[in-house]
Amino acid sequence: MKLVKNRLVLAADHIMEEPVRVTLNQQESIAHDLSERYHQNGYPVIIHSEPFYERSIKYLTEQLGVKVAPWEANKQYLHANYFIILWQKNQAK
């Protein structure tokens, strides 16, 4: 942030630079899909993804009344809904 000709100019936010940007709408869609699976069988949802997306999707999913269990590499559950969320860039021009 700096003052230029008596106007405050904000610099770009470089704190949250991410290689792939995911919209709130996309995250809510994922949470809704996880919620549907949870309500079909009642098993906890276990997700694994990039940390900065995993936290927000976990929050949104829990807001829909879904029990989200933590991912633990050394534990496996017979009755659970496992999801690995991967991001890929849209190749459309």
Per-residue pLDDT of the chain in tens (93 residues, 90 and over written 9): 555 666 766 555 555 555 567 788 889 999 999 999 999 999 999 998 888 788 899 999 999 999 898 888 778 888 899 998 887 766 444
In terms of residue numbers, what domain contains 84? 22-93
Question: Are 69 and 45 contacting, i.e. CB atoms less than 8 angstroms apart?
Answer: yes
Identify whether 80 is part of a domain: yes
Domain-located, residue 9: no
> Is residue 5 situated within a structural domain?
no
Length of the chain (residues): 93
**Chain position carrying tokens 């991967």:** 86
Residue 10 lies in a domain: no
In the chain, the number of structural domains is 1
pTM of the model: 0.69
User: Is residue 44 in some structural domain?
Assistant: yes
